[in-house]
């Protein structure tokens, strides 16, 4: 990887298009295979995060069929962007690790639709925009904000592909993570006795304006994107914490919830 970065620098390749080639698929997949084999030998549960390649999910599935405890997660930005399409406009705002790779978006959607994705995450990274404003992509910080765009981006992507967006958004962003972390059914379900954690969605056409974000960063690769849904309100244990425009929950209302069951 370091030699590829040095070669790119030496030839003046400093844009977002140089990022993915500097981190080749072989490196990602070899690391994945090594961890999967360690898990298979020891009996440990191996969970791989942030796959950028569909073959990674195929590897996990192969080990799972052999009896290994293995799962894999996908970030929403891999389902939303392609550097060949968005790179010129967004530049280093698209830099994440592993890279968002050209031509992989549709194939990763197919992995999700085939049921090989455990759940979907934001991989929220709190980089100030200054860390993206560098002359070389290799000096820019890797990662993007994602807390406030995870739900609308994933929901909109599902709806555009003709899926039952409400059900699958709840499944991949609530039920599946709660089960994975041993918090279900207290979390991630609408059942008697569960915590009344609710998210109210409003369908329509909503242009995301990162200047109004509540994370203090106020930038996003999704800035200016038209989503098909917005979060109109959220409730934690039945109490309102967000009213659609402002955070109304008070510090200290959170509660530690220990793991209740195996994944």
**Which pLDDT band, with edges at 50, 70 and 90, does 1 fall under?**
low
Domain contains 222: no
Domain contains 117: yes
Q: Per the structure, how many domains does the chain have?
A: 1
We report the CATH number of the domain holding residue 132 as 3.20.20.140
Domain contains 193: no
Domain contains 192: no
Q: What is the mean pLDDT of residues 18-36?
A: 96
CB 39 within 8 A of CB 69: yes
Domain contains 104: yes
In the chain, what percentage of residues exceed pLDDT 90? 91
In the chain, what percentage of residues exceed pLDDT 70? 99
Identify any residues that bridge with 240 across adjacent strands, giving them in sequence order.
235
Residue 263 predicted with pLDDT over 70: no
Quote the tokens at residue 43.
């009996």
- For 113-152, the pLDDT digits (tens) are 999 999 999 999 988 999 999 999 999 999 999 999 999 9
The whole domain housing 125 covers 2-144
- Give SS3 for 49: coil
**Which pLDDT band, with edges at 50, 70 and 90, does 262 fall under?**
low
Element (H, E) at 241: strand 239-242
- For 186-202, the pLDDT digits (tens) are 999 999 999 999 999 99
What DSSP character marks residue 190? -
- Residue 195 confidence (pLDDT): 95
Domain contains 168: no
Q: What is the mean pLDDT of residues 68-82?
A: 97
- Residue 5 confidence (pLDDT): 84
């Amino acid at each position: 990887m370091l030699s590829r970065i040095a070669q790119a620098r030496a030839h003046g390749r400093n844009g977002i298009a140089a990022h993915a080639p500097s981190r080749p698929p072989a490196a990602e997949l070899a690391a994945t295979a090594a961890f999967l084999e360690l898990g298979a030998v020891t009996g440990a549960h191996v969970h791989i995060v942030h796959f950028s390649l569909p073959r990674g999910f195929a590897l996990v599935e192969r080990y799972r069929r052999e009896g290994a405890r293995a799962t894999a997660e996908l970030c929403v930005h891999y389902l939303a962007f392609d550097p060949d399409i968005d790179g010129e406009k967004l530049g280093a705002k698209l830099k994440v690790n592993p890279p968002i790779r050209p031509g992989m978006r549709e194939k990763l959607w197919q992995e999700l639709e085939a049921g090989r994705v455990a759940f979907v995450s934001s991989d929220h990274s709190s980089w100030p925009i200054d860390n993206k404003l560098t002359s070389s992509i290799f000096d820019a910080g890797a990662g993007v904000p994602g807390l406030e765009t995870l739900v609308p981006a994933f929901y909109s992507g599902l709806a555009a592909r003709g899926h039952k967006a409400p059900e699958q958004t709840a499944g991949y962003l609530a039920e599946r993570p709660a089960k994975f972390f041993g918090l279900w059914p207290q979390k991630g379900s609408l059942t008697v006795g569960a915590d009344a954690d609710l998210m109210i969605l409003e369908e329509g056409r909503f242009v995301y304006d990162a200047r109004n974000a509540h994370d203090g960063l106020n930038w996003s690769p999704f800035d200016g994107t038209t989503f098909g849904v917005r979060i109109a309100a959220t409730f934690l244990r039945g109490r309102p914490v967000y009213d659609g425009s402002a955070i109304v929950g008070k510090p200290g209302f959170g509660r530690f919830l220990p793991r209740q069951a195996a994944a």
